[in-house]
Amino acid sequence: MLTNRSMNATGKRLARTAFLALLAAGVAGCGTSKMTTGSISRQANTAEAAAPGDLQGAADQLGRTYASAPDNKPVAMQYASVLQMKGQTDQSLAVMRKLAIGYPKDRDVLAAYGKALAASGELQPALDAVRRAQTPEYPDWKLVSAEAAILDQLGQTQEARGLYRKALDLKPNDPSVLSNLGMSYVLEGDLKSAETYLRSAAEQPGADGRVRQNLALAVGLQGRFDEAEKIASQELPPEQAQANVSYLRAMLAQQNAWNQIKAEDKPTTN
């Protein structure tokens, strides 16, 4: 079972692998985005909760609208968001790159472009885009949190956490920022601290299903599978919640078996 800062390197890698694998499967954080839980529009939240068929229908409808008006900012941003949820990160990035050319100083567009870059693994360009969108004299807390999430992916953990706390100063108790901060600790392998922040995030007004799925991940990685499944099933169909927890069980069982093999392979001393 994974616990806290005393985790060994294998445990920390497992926490990171489980987080990224579930993220890629669209069951933790922001769909396929590596941005953990950031800020997403109400329309995107609705699409995220839709069944795969409904999501495809939304993508088709938005795609037709976008084709007829590619410079329409709200349509392009919604279309890029839905494409990202479907795992079509390259296409999503292409939509946002075109929009950013047309709106080179728009903070919303640059922020969304930065997130699309991050989802495609282009972390340094993503960081540059988010920083260009920021206005130092009047900082946007959502951009501060987005910058922190990118820095986390770049391994600049302490700088990232300083920015998360700056975002919380600007927007106290915001559930998305608290959740991002919690996931920062998941990536480090400090699951007790992660759980503390994620529970606080889940208790805030306006916390959505992604926050609770992140909490379920942190709890499950500590081996408390029944509790994790209960948390997950508040947002997901029972069979999907069970499948997620079964995946974590298998990951942890694999780690324990590997540790046992390594222990048995150690030379004995007389």
Cβ atoms of 129 and 117 closer than 8 Å = yes
pLDDT at 189: 85
Q: Which of 109, 116, 99 is nearest to 30 (CA)?
A: 116
Instruction: Provide the residue ranges of all domains of the chain, joining segments of one domain with +.
Output: 1-30+173-259, 35-143
CATH assignment of 1-30+173-259, given 1.10.1390, 1.10.600, 1.25.40, 2.60.40? 1.25.40
- What is the CATH topology of the domain spanning 35-143? 1.25.40
pLDDT at 43: 38
Nearest in space to 181 (alpha carbons), one of 206, 208, 151:
151
Q: What is the pLDDT along the chain (270 residues), one digit of tens a residue?
A: 444 444 545 545 555 555 544 443 333 333 333 444 333 333 334 444 445 557 888 899 999 999 999 999 999 999 998 998 888 999 999 999 999 999 988 888 988 899 899 888 899 999 999 998 898 898 999 899 989 989 988 989 999 999 999 999 999 999 999 999 999 998 888 999 999 999 999 999 989 888 888 898 899 888 888 898 888 888 777 777 777 778 777 766 765 554 554 455 555 555
